[in-house]
Amino acid sequence: MSEEAAQLRLLRPVDPERDHLRGGSGPGAVTVLIYGDYLCPYCRRLRSVLGRLRRALGDRMAYVFRHFPNEHAHPGAEFAAIASEAADRQGKFWEMHDALYAREPPLSEAHVRDAARGIGLDMDRFEKDVADPALRARVDEDLADGRRNRVTATPTILIDGRRYAGAWDLYFILETLQQPVGERVRRSRSSTPFSRRQ
């Protein structure tokens, strides 16, 4: 495998025991992994496309979310990521994930706490968990993984472990997901998404 090809592959495979994974129980399911930031405007734009893809593909698509909060560009992104991990301890990661993306910025700590209450979390437990250094370490692990995979901006998309650089359009991504792996890689290299300046 060439060095360039190796750089386009996911270094740490998806682990259902550790990663946040939604769907994908169907045979031959394709895995779409996102390195995301809850305050990134481009992640917010991509979220609606991902929702439509999930509805179109059902269990033939697994959606995996890894944290890549850019605290410098988006103050409060780290707290939101940690809060989603605190929600995970109560079995409600995806509910918190959806609630955070559903709220329009700004997204202050008070707004994040409102989202936690809104999804029915035990707030005493939530407050203890967001203060637990283990949750910050969990977010930092995703950040470190992202950097090893040369993630520099959000969202960064990997499809079946390979970097996707095509257009962030429902029909383009859907067509890409339905192609053989080799064709996906060739096609994604020939297109570029809209600007991701932050």
pLDDT of 70-110, one tens digit each? 999 999 999 999 999 999 999 999 999 999 999 988 899 99
Tally of residues, the chain? 198
Q: What is the pTM of this model?
A: 0.86
Residues forming beta bridges with residue 159, ordered by sequence position: 32, 162
Ramachandran quadrant class, 106 (left: phi over 0; alpha: psi -120 to 50; beta: rest)? beta
Q: Spell out the SS3 assignment of 128-146.
A: HHHCCHHHHHHHHHHHHHH
Burial of 124 (0-12, 13-18, 19+ CB in 10 A): exposed
Q: Report the alpha-carbon distance of residue 82 to residue 45 in Å, rounded.
A: 22
pLDDT of 2-61, one tens digit each? 444 445 789 999 999 999 999 998 788 899 999 999 999 999 999 999 999 999 899 999
> Domains (ranges, CATH) in the chain?
3-189 (3.40.30.10)
